[in-house]
Amino acid sequence: MPDWESVEIALAQKSLTDKQSERDHRQLPIDKVGVRGLRFPVQVRDKANSGLQNTVARIGLFVDLPKEFKGTHMSRFVEVLNLHGSVVHVENIPDMLRAMQVRLNARNAHLEMEFPFFLVKRAPATGKEGVMDYQVRFDASMIGEKLDFLLTVKCNVTTLCPCSKAISKYGAHNQRGEVTVQIRSEKVIWIEDLVTLIEASGSSEMYSLLKREDEKIVTERAYENPVFVEDLVRNVVLQLQKNSDIIWYKVEAENEESIHNHNAYACIESHSGSQGIG
């Protein structure tokens, strides 16, 4: 007996018009087309626990579209994502990109994935544990056969103004600084290692849980280690330059000023190194 359900589906599909595959006469290729803002449960490598961390990512998947075609098939992006399961990390991202190239008959494929990454930190005096979140982003492209992978980590630190400390009889203004580090590397760089590097570059690192004993230590530590926003980006870059596997970097810092109605900003970008990893 024939599988009538499959026959009916096949007949229905045969009768449906495929508008995306129609010819387009405007002669304009599209660099990126696909889906964005797709929320998806993922697992990422966790160095501290020697395993995987569960989180939720916002994902974008894109390919190039030749000038001859009217549109792409959006459902195929989601199919590729689901076929690769919930473990998304540097190791299987190239497979996803190649699958998009094949499934969508494209030369170039792109993936963007942004997610919160969580670490447990101990307060400096009491040792009480609290969970800190950091914003992490993967941007990966397969241009023909050449892979390009960009890792972004955002981390908050405390900064205390050296000028304010120098000119004041007592006290000094401080602020929360957001540091954004982007890197390209020849080997996998752990997210935790970038977080540690960034947190060591400010006046003090931050914690989610502080008792009074802890607050005293954090406050005094910041006062003893004042940094301008310029110092902050330079401190981060000097640490990045010690890792020979990092071939390109961009470091941005923005302080939410506590005595001004504007923010302070600084940026250093590497101008050497390959723009792709193939």
Helix (H) or strand (E) holding 138: strand 129-143
Supply φ then ψ for residue 221, to 5 degrees.
Answer: -60, -45
* pLDDT of res. 47: 84
Q: What is the pTM of this model?
A: 0.87
pLDDT of 29 reads 87
Residue 237 pLDDT: 98
The pLDDT value recorded for residue 162 is 94
Domains of the chain (ranges; CATH) run 22-269 (3.10.270.10)
Query: pLDDT at position 26, please?
Result: 78
Per-residue pLDDT, 278: 41
Least Cα distance to 136 among 157, 118, 110 occurs for 118
The amino acid sitting at 245 is D
How far apart, in whole angstroms, are the C-alpha atoms of residue 88 and residue 82? Answer: 11
SS3 220: helix
Predicted pLDDT at 69: 74
10-residue averages of pLDDT along the chain (278 residues): 56 61 74 94 82 91 86 86 78 92 94 96 96 97 96 97 94 94 94 96 96 96 96 97 96 93 95 54
